[in-house]
Structure 1
Amino acid sequence: MLYSPDHDHRRPEGADDQAAKLPEKAGRWTFQIVEEYDDGYYAAFRELEGEVRDRLTGGRRHVYEAELKQRSQRAGREASG
């Protein structure tokens, strides 16, 4: 779908002329913009993030959050028991 001002009903009154400029300036359909982002910037970031995670945590994700959860559960058991 090409971005169209007719599809966005949340736009403030009087903004249609600015929104209509987007397809002209972009020259691409929205799915093309998303694919370019996925294949370019996001793919490079995801690859680098994976390399860093593998090196620093052995590939484990959300290590800090998992530790917080364990501490919270441990504290809850100690308080109730």
Structure 2
Amino acid sequence: MNAHNDGPDRAHQRPEGLSDTMVQALGSLSKALETTERARGYLYGFHQLTGAADLELDRAVRLLREADHQEWAERVKTEIVGRNVIPGHWTFQIIEAYNETYYEPFKDLERAAVNGLAEGRDHLYEGEMKEARRTDGHPAHTARPDTTP
């Protein structure tokens, strides 16, 4: 802690005996999970965009019919509307499989590692980086929300 008694809270302090290498390893594990969270967000974006496109096809079919192009309207309706995006799967099924097969086990393992190796203390790498980069006594550089310089 610095001279103003403004150090990180216990939840962001390295437990006794935890090595630099272990802090880095847990930081890398957390970073990989954060990247997976972003990838999962893109998957949800893919799901929503594909669904919106499929719903917009209803308008295209209607307009093709109004323009007296029944055969094209029927082709769009039968060949594309409601089509699987990969064999046997709509996008929600891809998300379900991803969550069950990859995301949930990864999230559970990361949490177990933090609990088992660092007494449940999260973001130790980032906490130490913040502490090293703060300017002592600067009002915008406090360690915690409940402290003032």
TM-score range, shorter chain: 0.5 to 0.7
Amino acid at match of 1:65: E
Give the structure with the larger helix fraction: 1
Q: Which has the larger radius of gyration?
A: 2
63, 81, 84: which one pairs with 1:23? 84
Alpha carbons of structure 1 residues 62 and 24: separation in structure 2 relative to 1, 3 Å: closer
Q: How big is the shift at 1:57?
A: 1.2
In the alignment, structure 1 residue 64 sits paired with structure 2 residue 64:
no
TM-score w.r.t. the length of structure 2 is: 0.35
Q: Secondary structure at the match of 1:25?
A: coil
In the alignment, structure 1 residue 52 sits paired with structure 2 residue 103:
no
Higher relative contact order (CA 8 A, sep 6+): 2
Identity %: 34
Structure 2 gap ranges (5+)? 1-46, 54-79, 138-149
RMSD after superposition: 2.8
Alpha carbons of structure 1 residues 49 and 24: separation in structure 2 relative to 1, 3 Å: closer
Amino acid at match of 1:40: T
TM-score w.r.t. the length of structure 1 is: 0.58
Q: Secondary structure at the match of 2:136?
A: helix
Q: How far apart, CA to CA, are the structure 2 residues paired with 1:24 and 1:51?
A: 35
Q: How many residues align?
A: 62
